[in-house]
A and B are shown apart, each in its own frame.
Chain A
Amino acid sequence: AQSVTQLGSHVSVSEGALVLLRCNYSSSVPPYLFWYVQYPNQGLQLLLKYTSAATLVKGINGFEAEFKKSETSFHLTKPSAHMSDAAEYFCAVSVDTGNQFYFGTGTSLTVIP
């Protein structure tokens, strides 16, 4: 079975500060891992995905995530937060990119000017 835990339902950072959003997963098989972003009143947009290639994955808008098998983690980072990064972020796990996804409960990111 697969599941995802996102630590911290709300995260606040100052503009220009490091963004770190935490995601831990459990999976009985090698996982595919995803981060999605949701802006207010919109659908989910893919930020990046890990599909068993490089463990450090770069995504859109300057975000990246590192797959750490030993820690069963896939934390999302961005070196310098921008006001436009304020949104809801979801981590998801799947056994296949085209198959059923399991989502975390989301982390709401607030960027303080």
Chain B
Amino acid sequence: DAGITQSPRYKITETGRQVTLMCHQTWSHSYMFWYRQDLGHGLRLIYYSAAADITDKGEVPDGYVVSRSKTENFPLTLESATRSQTSVYFCASASRQYGQYFGPGTRLTVT
């Protein structure tokens, strides 16, 4: 199916563990984004990518790592999860004509 998918949809992990959130899009959009959504903060940009092998920091990048070896995939890794990283994470890809398409989100809980 065409679109943007995220996995897992729900994840519970312990403090200090490494977690990777996956994002896959089928449109071959150049730009991809990772946001976190927290009550009272709206959506905050973590990292974005303009193309394969090109990534850049957003507003809140600390504690996160991204890679983009293929255009369609944009995984987000929490190298050592902290409780403050409990959030809902959204991946998005963008086209000039339409704007940003969002995935369904991953709800991450760090205990």
Chain A contact residue count (CB 8 A cutoff): 24
Query: Out of B96, B98, B100, B104, which one reaches A101, CB within 8 Å?
Result: B100
Which A-chain residue is minimally distant from B30 (CB atoms)?
A98
A 43-86 to B, binary, CB cutoff 8 A, 1 in contact else 0: 11110010000000000000000000000000000000000000
Q: Bound state CA distance, A43 and B102, in angstroms?
A: 6
Given known A-B contacts A43-B104, A98-B31, A104 and B42 have beta carbons under 8 A apart: yes
B96 and A96 contacting across the interface, CB-CB below 8 Å: yes
A43 and B105 contacting across the interface, CB-CB below 8 Å: yes
B 83-111 to A, binary, CB cutoff 8 A, 1 in contact else 0: 00000001010111111111111000000
A42 and B94 contacting across the interface, CB-CB below 8 Å: no
Query: Out of A34, A45, A98, which one reaches B96, CB within 8 Å?
Result: A98
Interface, chain B (partner A; CB < 8 A): 29-31, 33, 35, 40-45, 48, 58, 90, 92, 94-105
Interface, chain A (partner B; CB < 8 A): 9, 32, 34, 36, 41-46, 49, 90, 92, 94, 96-101, 103-106
